[in-house]
Amino acid sequence: MDGLMKTLKVLVVDDSLVQRNHVISLCQKHELESIHGATDGVDAIEKLKEQQFDLVFIDLEMPKMDGVELVRRIAADNLAQSVIILSSKDPSLILSIGTMAESDGLNVLGTFQKPIQNSDLFASLKQLRALKSKESKSDKEHKIYNRLTKQNILDGISNEQITLFYQPKLTTKGLLLKGVEALARWQHPKLGPISPVEFITAAEQFGVISKLTHYLFNIALEQKVSWQQYGVNFHLSFNLSPLSLSDKGLAENISAQVAHYHLSPNEIVLEITENAISGEVSTAIETLAKLRLKGFNLAIDDYGTGFANAQQLSRVPATELKLDRVLVDNVTTKPQQRAILKSTVNLAKDLNLTTVAEGIENFDDFQLILALKVDLVQGYYFAKPMASTELIEWLKFDLAKIRKKLREKQKLENKQ
C-alpha cells in the first residue's frame, strides 16, 4: 500500500456499534491509519468541523439526524468531499440518495447495502486514491505553469523538440484499428518532459497556438502519408485548440495542408473539447461547419467534463463523441455514473454520432462499454500513446496478443 493511502483520514458514521466496527476493521485491513467513528449525524458534524476527513462513511438510518440530512449538511457547509453511503434499505433508495448527494456536489465513491464488502471498499479506495493523486498532480502542474516563455515554445518548434505520439483507437467489436489520435510531446533538454496540457496552455496564452498547431499538423500528415506508403491505412485524429476556432482562416489553412499531402479530409478527425461548444459560440460553429463542409470529421472531445447540453450538442455538425475518462473510469462500481453514461451513449446514437470511450484502463470497464454498444475504444488497457515507429511494431505483434488475451478472458467470464 503506498504512502498516500496511509495518510488518508476516514470518519465512519453509524449508530450501530457492530456496523461501525465492521467498517473500521475493514479500513484497518487496508492500512488506513487515521480512522474515527461517530454515533450519529450531530456527532459527525462536530467532528467534521474540528478536523478535515478525506472520506466519510454515512449510514442512512440514524437517530437525531439521519443520513439524508447529514449528506445535505456536509454538502451545504462543505465539510467533506468524498462519501460512501451505506444502508440496509433497498438498493434503489440508497442509489437515489447517492444521486442526490452527487448533484449536491459531493463525490460519491459508492452506495452499498450493509454490510459493505471488502471488494467494494477496495474499489472505492482505489478511486479515492486516483482522485487524490490527480489533485496533487494538478497542484504541481499549477506550480509549474508559467515557467515557459514564448521564446521557449518558438524554440521547441524550430528545434523540432516538440513531436507527436500516437494512441490507437480500436473498434469495440473485433478490436480492429480504426484510427490513431496524435498527442503532442515535448522532451525539453533542460526541463525534461513537459506535459502537453502545460505547453498547449502556454502557447494559447502567448498567442502562438496557431503556429504550433500548423507545425504539429504537418508532422501528423507527413506521418500519415508514410504509414500509407508502408501499406497501413487508418484515420488520423488531431486535437484543435478551442482558440483556433475563432480563427476565420482555419478551415482554409487546414484544407490546404491536407491537399498538399494529397490526403482526403474524410480520413481526418479534428477533435475539439466540449467546452468550445458551450456558451457563446457562433464563430466556433461557423468554423466547424466550414470544416465539415470540406469533408473533415469532427469529434467532440472530453464529453462529460463540461456543461454542454443536448441542445448545444445537436447544434454542432460533429460526427463523433468522445466520452471522457471521468464518465468511463471505474464505471462498474458507480451505478449513477453508469446511468449517465448509458443515456449519453443513447443520445449520441440518436444524433448519429460515432461513440468513443476514452481512458479504458481495465477489463471490467471494457465489458461495460461493450455492453453499451459504444463504437470505439481508446485507453491504456489497449495501448498507451507511442512514437510512430513503435506503432508499426504494436500493430504487427501486440494487437494480436491483446485480442487473444481478451478472447480468453471473455471465455472465462462466460463460463462463470
Give me the residues that bind ligand C2E (CB under 6 A), please: 167, 183-184, 195-197, 200, 216, 239-241, 271, 301-302, 325, 359-361, 378-380, 385
Shortest Å distance, C-beta 221 to ligand C2E: 13
Q: Does 329 bind Ca ion (CB under 5 A)?
A: no
Residue at grid coordinates 484544407: 255
Q: Cβ closer to Ca ion: 59 or 302?
A: 302
Spell out the alpha helix ranges (H) of 16-169: 17-29, 41-50, 67-76, 91-103, 118-144, 150-158
The interface partner of residue 359, options being ligand C2E, Ca ion, none and the CB cut-off 5 to 8 Å by kind, is: ligand C2E
Helix (H, G, I), strand (E, B), or coil: what is residue 104?
A: coil
- Dihedral, CA of residue 348, residue 216, residue 234 and residue 372, to nearest 10: -20
> In 3D, which of 100, 92, 33 has the Cα closest to residue 71?
100
Helix (H, G, I), strand (E, B), or coil: what is residue 246?
A: helix
Shortest Å distance, C-beta 122 to ligand C2E: 19
Q: Cβ closer to ligand C2E: 255 or 275?
A: 275
Q: Cβ of 117: how many Cβ atoms within 10 Å?
A: 11
Q: Cβ closer to Ca ion: 57 or 186?
A: 186
Q: Cβ closer to ligand C2E: 106 or 200?
A: 200
Shortest Å distance, C-beta 326 to ligand C2E: 11
Shortest Å distance, C-beta 209 to ligand C2E: 7
Alpha-carbon span 3 to 1, nearest angstrom = 7
| Local structure of residue 397 (DSSP, 8 states) | I
CB 344 within 8 A of CB 327: yes
Which string of x and - marks every residue 355-394 that binds Ca ion (by CB under 5 A)? ---x------------------------------------
Q: Cβ closer to ligand C2E: 81 or 244?
A: 244
Exposure of 52 in the CB half-sphere (CA atoms within 13 A): 5
**How remote is the C-alpha of 43 from its chain's centroid?**
36
Residues 193-252 that bind Ca ion (CB under 5 A): 239
The crossing angle, in degrees rounded to 10, of helices 196-205 and 209-229 is 130
Q: Cβ of 381: how many Cβ atoms within 10 Å?
A: 16
Q: Which residues pair with 179 in a beta bridge?
A: 169, 235
Alpha-carbon span 311 to 350, nearest angstrom = 12
Shortest Å distance, C-beta 142 to ligand C2E: 16
Residues 282-321 that bind Ca ion (CB under 5 A): 301-302
The interface partner of residue 395, options being ligand C2E, Ca ion, none and the CB cut-off 5 to 8 Å by kind, is: none
Q: Cβ closer to ligand C2E: 241 or 287?
A: 241
CB 111 within 8 A of CB 98: yes
Phi/psi for 4 (5° steps) reads -60, -45
Q: Does 271 bind Ca ion (CB under 5 A)?
A: yes
Q: Cβ closer to Ca ion: 110 or 359?
A: 359
> In 3D, which of 257, 212, 258 has the Cα closest to residue 235?
258
Cβ partners under 8 Å of residue 129, min gap 6:
2, 4, 5
The interface partner of residue 184, options being ligand C2E, Ca ion, none and the CB cut-off 5 to 8 Å by kind, is: ligand C2E
Shortest Å distance, C-beta 240 to ligand C2E: 6
Shortest Å distance, C-beta 302 to Ca ion: 4
Shortest Å distance, C-beta 116 to ligand C2E: 27
Q: Cβ closer to ligand C2E: 53 or 238?
A: 238
Q: Cβ closer to ligand C2E: 19 or 213?
A: 213
Alpha-carbon span 52 to 10, nearest angstrom = 9
Which string of x and - marks every residue 38-77 that binds Ca ion (by CB under 5 A)? ----------------------------------------
From 15-23, 31-39, 72-80, 266-274, span contacting Ca ion (CB under 5 A): 266-274
Provide the binding-site residues for Ca ion, judged by CB under 5 A. 239, 271, 301-302, 358
